[in-house]
Chain A
């Protein structure tokens, strides 16, 4: 079975803390994505990576960075959290080259207090 695993389902952090959200896929996919989901706004792309150590900004990269040191792992980093980063974060992966469907993790609900 195809699998995208996010390290946490729920996180509560204080304003100003540094947060790492981890995502691992076992499908040998080239592409990996981080989306943010908010009510009334749908899914918005934060960053994506099309290969190890390669990354591109999505629509809302401000306040975030990413790391992809290994093909199967894609980390989203919030250097100094703020309350407006309270959201659901979804990781996804897909094969490269033919616009195949993306496979999603179960999401991480981050609350910043």
Chain B
């Protein structure tokens, strides 16, 4: 069975601080996809990134960066120079290739960025 663990329930930072959201996953499959979603107060989940299990290259998109390490089964998400608009609940998720494409979500990390 697949499992995604986000150990940090809530994080609070001050604007301009860097913050890392942890994600650890479990699967016995060798081919899988990992995702991060953002859920702002409005409620709609917004897709941020998808990585497949064969691509361990780290990715940077503006202030966002992702660190994928198969050796530790982790897919961590860092926000550099955080802003108030980054306040949201962030979810890490896993799906299997060739399966039913169901997403298995972690329980989410609520990030609050204070001015």
Residue positions of A touching B, CB distance < 8 A: 31, 33, 35, 40-45, 48, 50, 56, 58, 88, 90, 92, 94, 96-97, 99-107
Contact = CB atoms under 8 A, between A and B. Distances in A.
Interface string B36-66: 0100001111110010100000000000000
Nearest to A43: B105
Q: Which of B42, B44, B96, B97 has the most chain A CB atoms closer than 10 A to its own CB?
A: B44
Question: Chain A contact residues: over half helix, strand or loop, or mixed?
Answer: strand
Interface in B59-115: 91, 95-97, 99-108
Given A45-B102, A96-B101, A106-B43, 11 more contacts: A31-B101, A35-B105, A40-B107, A42-B91, A42-B107, A42-B108, A43-B103, A45-B103, A56-B100, A100-B50, A100-B101
A106 B101 contact: no
Contact of B95 (A43, A96, A99): A99
B33 A99 contact: yes
24 contacts: A33-B102, A41-B107, A42-B91, A42-B107, A42-B108, A43-B105, A43-B108, A45-B102, A48-B102, A90-B45, A92-B103, A94-B101, A97-B101, A99-B50, A99-B52, A99-B96, A99-B99, A102-B103, A104-B44, A104-B46, A106-B42, A106-B43, A106-B44, A107-B43
A52 B101 CA distance: 16
A96 B100 CA distance: 8
Interface string B20-42: 00000000000001010100001
Interface residues of B, number: 26
A19 to B, nearest CB: 19
A102 B105 contact: no
B102 A101 contact: no
A50 B100 contact: yes
A42 B97 contact: no
B70 to A, nearest CB: 17
